[in-house]
C-alpha cells in the first residue's frame, strides 16, 4: 500500500503513573496501539495509558523526525520518544503538530474518557461553587495549576555546583551573594535550599564577604521553615563564621518585598537563585534593572519569548553554561522541567559553541533549511548560514549555545511566528549576521 493510502496518525500519550512525561509517537492504528500499551507484560492494570492528543497526517515519519529535531532538548533519551510533559509544553507540542505542513485533522476519540469527565464535573458542581460563581475561567484554573507545578521545584545541589564552578573563582572574592527566592537555611541539609547550601560549604574557597538568603512564606511551606518570612545572613568575622536569622514584622520573604529590594539595592553584589517560573517576568525586570550581577535559572524558552527577547537583544543577559532539566518535588522525587542558567557574568570558552554548525548557505542540507510564506529563511539542527545577509529564524538552541557571541545579533525585539502554506509553525527568534 502506498504512503498516500496508508492511514497515518500522530499521537501524544501518557501513562497514569507518569505525570511528568509523555510519549509522542506515530501509528497506522490508534486503537491497536493503545491496546498494546495497556496490555504490556508486567504493567499494572491500574496504570492505564491514554491519549492526550491524536491527529491524522500525510507523512507521519517526517513529522516525527521534525518533532525530534524541534524538541530534542525535551527528550528523555535519544533512543525513545519520551518527552518532558506539563501544561505549557503540551500546548507547544500540539501547536507544532497542528502547524506542520503534513497535518490533516485532529481526531477526538475515547468516549469513555469523556464520560468520566462529565462525572467529575457533576461532583464538583455539587460540592463546590461553579467557576462562574467563583469569578474564574477554566484558563485561570489551568494557569494557577501550571504556576503551582513550576513553583514547587527544588534545584538539585549538583546542578548548582556544576554551573557555579564553571566561572572564574575571582568573581566571588569579597562579594555579597543574595539568594532571594525562598532560599531557606536550616540545621538539616534536606530543609536547606541548594543555593545557600553550596555557598555555605564553599564560603572560604570562594572568599565571599557575605551570604544573604530569604525564606518566602507561601501557601506551601517547601522547606518546613514555618509561617514567618526571614532574612538569613552568613558572614566571616574576626571571631569566625557567624550566622543569624532576622524575622522582620510583616515580612513575607518575596523578592519584591521592600526589605528584599533594599537588600538587593544596598548590599548585593551577585544574585544567585531559581526564581518562581510563574513570576519570571517580574523577577527579570527587577534584577536586570538593579544593575547587579546575577546567575539564575529560568525556562529555556525565554530566549524566544517576547517578554525577554529585548534583554538578549540589548546584551543585558545571555545563557550560562548548562541546561537544568531535573528537579526535586517537595516529596524529593525527580521531575523534569525545561530550565537553563542565565547570567550577565562573562562566559569563557563556552563548551556548546561546537553545537553550532556555521557554514555557507549552500552547505546547509536542504532538509534543514526552508523559507516561510514571507520568504524568511528558517534553519534547524544548529545550522547557521555564514554568508546570509538578511534576517533568518532560529529556535531556542542556537541562542543558548552562544550564537550571539559569534558575530550575530537579534534582529527584532519580539518572537517570530513563521507561517508555511498558511499554517503557523513553531515560534522562533529572528537573528542576523552583524
According to the model, what pLDDT value does residue 55 have? 94
Which residues are paired to 433 by β-bridges? Answer: 408
- According to DSSP, residue 347 is labeled P
What separation, in Å, do the N-terminal and C-terminal C-alpha atoms of the chain show? 51
- Distance of alpha carbon 19 from alpha carbon 21, whole angstroms: 6
Across residues 83-105, what is the average pLDDT?
84
Cβ-Cβ contacts under 8 Å for 88 (sequence gap 6 or more): 146
Q: Which residue has the higher pLDDT, 162 or 276?
A: 162
Q: Which residue has the higher pLDDT, 118 or 282?
A: 282
Model confidence over 375-424: pLDDT tens digits?
Answer: 999 999 999 999 999 999 999 999 999 999 999 999 999 999 999 999 88
- The full DSSP string for 38-82 is TT-TT--TTS-EEEEEEEEES-HHHHHHHHHHHTGGGBS-TTS-E
| Per-residue pLDDT at 349 exceeds 50 | yes
| Band (76; pLDDT cuts 50, 70, 90) | low
Contact (Cβ atoms closer than 8 angstroms) between residue 51 and residue 11: yes
According to the model, what pLDDT value does residue 15 have? 86
pTM comes to: 0.68
- According to DSSP, residue 14 is labeled E
- Distance of alpha carbon 114 from alpha carbon 112, whole angstroms: 5
216: which 3 cell numbers? 518566602
According to the model, what pLDDT value does residue 399 have? 96
Across residues 155-174, what is the average pLDDT?
95
Across residues 25-42, what is the average pLDDT?
84
Model confidence over 211-243: pLDDT tens digits?
Answer: 999 998 866 666 667 778 899 999 988 878 899
Query: What whole-number percentage of the chain has pLDDT above 90?
Result: 58
Give the lowest-confidence range in 309-313, 342-346, 417-421: 417-421
Model confidence over 112-138: pLDDT tens digits?
Answer: 433 333 333 332 333 434 444 444 443
Domains of the chain: 9-118 (no CATH), 153-348 (3.40.50), 352-433 (no CATH)
Give the containing element (helix H, strand E) for 86: none
Amino acid at each position: 500500500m502506498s504512503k498516500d493510502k496508508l492511514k497515518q496518525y500522530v499521537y501524544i500519550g501518557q501513562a497514569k503513573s507518569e505525570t511528568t512525561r509523555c510519549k509522542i509517537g506515530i501509528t497506522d492504528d490508534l486503537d491497536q496501539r493503545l491496546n498494546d500499551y495497556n496490555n504490556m507484560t508486567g504493567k499494572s492494570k491500574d496504570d492505564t495509558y491514554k491519549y492526550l492528543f491524536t491527529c491524522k497526517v500525510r507523512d507521519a515519519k517526517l513529522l516525527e523526525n521534525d518533532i525530534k529535531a524541534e524538541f530534542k532538548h525535551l527528550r528523555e533519551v535519544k533512543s525513545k520518544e519520551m518527552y518532558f510533559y506539563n501544561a505549557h509544553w503540551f500546548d507547544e507540542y500540539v501547536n507544532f503538530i497542528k502547524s506542520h505542513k503534513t497535518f490533516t485533522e485532529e481526531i477526538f476519540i475515547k468516549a469513555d474518557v469523556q464520560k468520566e469527565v462529565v462525572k467529575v464535573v457533576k461532583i464538583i458542581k455539587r460540592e463546590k461553587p461553579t467557576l462562574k460563581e467563583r469569578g474564574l475561567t477554566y484558563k485561570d484554573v489551568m494557569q494557577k495549576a501550571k504556576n503551582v507545578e513550576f513553583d514547587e521545584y527544588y534545584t538539585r545541589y549538583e546542578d548548582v555546583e556544576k554551573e557555579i564552578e564553571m566561572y572564574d573563582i575571582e568573581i566571588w572574592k569579597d562579594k555579597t551573594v543574595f539568594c532571594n527566592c525562598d532560599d531557606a537555611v536550616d540545621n538539616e541539609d534536606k530543609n536547606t535550599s541548594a543555593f545557600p547550601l553550596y555557598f555555605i560549604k564553599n564560603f572560604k574557597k570562594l572568599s565571599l564577604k557575605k551570604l544573604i538568603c530569604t525564606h518566602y512564606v507561601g501557601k506551601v511551606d517547601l522547606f518546613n521553615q514555618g509561617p514567618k518570612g526571614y532574612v538569613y545572613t552568613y558572614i566571616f568575622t574576626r571571631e569566625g563564621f557567624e550566622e543569624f536569622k532576622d524575622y522582620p514584622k510583616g515580612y513575607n520573604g518575596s523578592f519584591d518585598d521592600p526589605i528584599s529590594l533594599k537588600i538587593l539595592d544596598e548590599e548585593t553584589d551577585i544574585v544567585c537563585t531559581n526564581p518562581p517560573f510563574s513570576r519570571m517576568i517580574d523577577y527579570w525586570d527587577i534584577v536586570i534593572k538593579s544593575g547587579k550581577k546575577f546567575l539564575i535559572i529560568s525556562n529555556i524558552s525565554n530566549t524566544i519569548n517576547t517578554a525577554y527577547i529585548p534583554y538578549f537583544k540589548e546584551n543585558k543577559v545571555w545563557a550560562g553554561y548548562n541546561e537544568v532539566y531535573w528537579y526535586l518535588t517537595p516529596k524529593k522525587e525527580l521531575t523534569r522541567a525545561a530550565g537553563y542558567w542565565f547570567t550577565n557574568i562573562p562566559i569563557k570558552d563556552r563548551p556548546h559553541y561546537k553545537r553550532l554548525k556555521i557554514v555557507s548557505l549552500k552547505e546547509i542540507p536542504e532538509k534543514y533549511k526552508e523559507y516561510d510564506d514571507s520568504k524568511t529563511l528558517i534553519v534547524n539542527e544548529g545550522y547557521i548560514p555564514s554568508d546570509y545577509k538578511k534576517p533568518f529564524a532560529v529556535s531556542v538552541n542556537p541562542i543558548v549555545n552562544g550564537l550571539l557571541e559569534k558575530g550575530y545579533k537579534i534582529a527584532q525585539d519580539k518572537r517570530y511566528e513563521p507561517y508555511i502554506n498558511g499554517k503557523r509553525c513553531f515560534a522562533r527568534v529572528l537573528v542576523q549576521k552583524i
